[in-house]
């Protein structure tokens, strides 16, 4: 039976879904559509109020509010020149309004709070900014990014070659120095999600912090909250990527629930995290990272228990180390498949099998790099072990990449995916109604 099925106990998740619907409509349709439908919508609202259908009235209000907010945000983002305040990270500007812009024609130092005037150009859901005028307001965050540069240099020195490039990408999401053939290797074996610092990476860091804090004389109930708060510097180090922010919010809510001895509903936690991101910037919905991150975690919550219940005997080595990790990967990929295939045009056939091996190795690799960077006096010893893990990681990817028919490529029509949500809905209903 599906244990985490979306029901009345998941109101935050449903709010998130209706915010997504309104945001999507706000991006697709211009404001004129809102004006044309204003009178029918007003009549419909009155009918809901008269009939005391408060749930329908709230849903309509959420969708319309989200539509209006997103459409206005999209309109403002198209106006040139723009005047914005933000933080510089990896030659990007993260504005305090929530939008992210890649800077063209100018190299910016990381960690600066800036006041910028420039022109914005959009291409394939990415915003590019050509700066006309720039004023540095503060260098308050520069030490954090100097620390980031120190970590990158330390890894490059200790792990030369492509192993170091892979390590830096896995730990910090920095892929600028990574050769294209390594990126292709990740894609071919279905491990490209490991390069995009995500909830997996954030969870590994959180687990390491929890273990370290448990050594100290700290009240046990406070350890998860402190560990999640200590993840804030990691948000800076990874450039405030959507998937990391999502994982941080979710971990903090879960930790707060443990402290208050309240069990958090997983779908509600997803809903709160997503709603916060959409309220900060509704145009985040256009980000592929946002789409993949929330689809993956929702798929795991909705399908993992259903897949797991198919196994009669649990707890043995086969279930714990092979079947359960395979179920996690499959649950995520069932939901992310249409976005990946439509945007990138490929399907890695062996991804489930590759991830059963590569995900645990990623945990070891990241943990080893943190130990190597944190304890410089042990670096001559730790660097050899970490390099060996990285070498095994790379060899396994190569093995999967060179298997026959490792990748199916193509460019599907968007209309194909009009059928996919219906099939997914039938799948969920089948699991939910199963005994």
Q: How confident is the model at residue 399 (pLDDT cuts 50, 70, 90)?
A: very high
Backbone angles phi, psi at 96, to 5 degrees: -70, -5
Q: Give percent of the chain with pLDDT exceeding 70.
A: 83
43/154 same-domain check: no
Q: Which residue has the higher pLDDT, 260 or 426?
A: 260
The 10s digit of each residue's pLDDT in 157-175 is 999 889 999 999 999 888 8
Does the residue 22 lie in any domain? yes
- In this predicted structure, what is the pLDDT of residue 398? 93
CB 54 within 8 A of CB 45: no
403/314 same-domain check: yes
Residue 253 in tokens = 């809510």
Name the DSSP letter for residue 263.
Answer: P
Q: What is the DSSP string of 71-91?
A: HHHHHHHT-SSEEEEEEEETT
348/427 same-domain check: yes
Q: Which residue has the higher pLDDT, 267 or 79?
A: 267
Does the residue 1 lie in any domain? no
The 10s digit of each residue's pLDDT in 314-348 is 667 777 777 788 888 888 888 888 888 887 888 88
Residue 95 in tokens = 């504005």
**How does the average pLDDT of the chain come out, rounded?**
82
Residue 339 in tokens = 């976005």
107/214 same-domain check: no
Helix (H, G, I), strand (E, B) or coil at 152: helix
Mean pLDDT of 34-54: 67
Numbers of helices and strands, H then E, in the chain: 18, 7
209/284 same-domain check: yes
Residue 110 pLDDT exceeds 70? yes
Does the residue 2 lie in any domain? no
Mean pLDDT of 116-139: 81
221/127 same-domain check: no
42/104 same-domain check: no
Residue 430 in tokens = 């089948």
CB 167 within 8 A of CB 361: no
Residue 303 pLDDT exceeds 90? no
Does the residue 290 lie in any domain? yes
Q: Which of 106, 121, 140 is a domain's end point? A: 140
- In this predicted structure, what is the pLDDT of residue 391? 95
273/219 same-domain check: yes
Domain count for the chain: 3
What is the C-alpha to C-alpha distance for residues 17 and 59, in angstroms, rounded to an integer? 10
400/292 same-domain check: yes
The 10s digit of each residue's pLDDT in 351-387 is 888 998 998 899 999 999 999 998 888 888 889 999 9
Does the residue 274 lie in any domain? yes
CATH no. for residue 119? 2.40.50
270/296 same-domain check: yes
Q: Which of 73, 105, 126 is a domain's end point? A: 73
133/264 same-domain check: no
Does the residue 58 lie in any domain? yes
Does the residue 5 lie in any domain? no
Helix (H, G, I), strand (E, B) or coil at 358: helix
Domain of residue 200, residue span? 145-433
Q: Which of 108, 140, 172 is a domain's end point? A: 140
Residue 11 pLDDT exceeds 60? yes
Of 327, 375, 373, the residue nearest 352 (C-alpha) = 327
Mean pLDDT of 43-59: 71
Q: How confident is the model at residue 289 (pLDDT cuts 50, 70, 90)?
A: confident
| Start-to-end C-alpha separation, the chain | 6
Does the residue 272 lie in any domain? yes
Of 285, 250, 328, the residue nearest 99 (C-alpha) = 285
173/68 same-domain check: no
Helix (H, G, I), strand (E, B) or coil at 137: strand
Residue 31 pLDDT exceeds 80? no
């Amino acid at each position: 039976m599906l244990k985490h099925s979306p029901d009345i106990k998941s109101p935050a998740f449903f709010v998130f879904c209706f915010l997504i619907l309104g945001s999507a409509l706000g991006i697709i349709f211009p404001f004129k559509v809102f004006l044309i439908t204003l009178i029918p919508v007003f009549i419909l609202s009155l009918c809901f109020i008269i009939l005391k259908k408060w749930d329908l009235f709230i849903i309509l209000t959420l969708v319309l509010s989200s539509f209006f907010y997103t459409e206005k945000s999209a309109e403002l983002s198209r106006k040139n020149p723009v005047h914005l305040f933000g933080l510089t990270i990896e030659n990007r500007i993260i504005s305090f309004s929530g939008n992210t812009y890649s800077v063209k024609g100018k190299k910016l130092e990381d960690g600066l709070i800036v006041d910028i005037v420039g022109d914005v150009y959009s291409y394939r859901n990415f915003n590019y900014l050509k700066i006309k005028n720039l004023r540095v307001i503060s260098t308050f965050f520069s030490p954090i990014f100097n620390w980031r540069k120190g970590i990158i240099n330390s890894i490059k020195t200790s792990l030369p070659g492509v192993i170091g490039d892979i390590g830096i990408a896995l730990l910090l999401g920095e892929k600028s120095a990574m050769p294209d053939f390594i990126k292709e290797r990740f894609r071919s074996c279905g491990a490209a999600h490991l390069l995009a610092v995500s909830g997996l990476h954030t969870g590994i860091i959180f687990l390491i912090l929890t273990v370290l804090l448990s050594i100290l004389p700290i009240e046990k109930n406070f350890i998860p909250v402190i560990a999640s708060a200590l993840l804030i510097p990691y948000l800076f180090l990874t450039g405030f990527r959507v998937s990391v922010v999502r994982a941080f919010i979710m971990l903090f809510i879960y930790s707060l629930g443990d402290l208050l001895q309240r069990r958090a509903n997983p779908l509600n936690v997803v809903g709160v995290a997503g709603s916060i991101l959409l309220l900060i910037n509704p145009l985040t919905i256009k980000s592929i990272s946002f789409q993949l991150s929330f689809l993956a975690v929702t798929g795991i919550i909705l399908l993992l228990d259903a897949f797991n219940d198919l196994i009669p005997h649990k707890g043995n080595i086969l279930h714990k180390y092979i079947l359960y990790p395979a179920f996690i990967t499959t649950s995520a990929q069932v939901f992310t498949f249409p976005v990946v295939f439509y945007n990138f045009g490929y399907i890695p056939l062996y991804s489930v099998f590759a991830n059963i091996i590569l995900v645990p190795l990623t945990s070891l690799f990241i943990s080893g790099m943190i130990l190597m960077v944190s304890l410089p006096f042990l670096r001559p010893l730790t660097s050899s072990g970490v390099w060996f893990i990285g070498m095994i990681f790379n060899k396994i990817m190569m093995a999967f990449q060179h298997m026959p028919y490792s990748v199916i490529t193509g460019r599907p029509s968007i209309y194909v995916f009009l059928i996919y949500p219906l099939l997914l809905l039938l799948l969920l209903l089948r699991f939910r109604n199963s005994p």
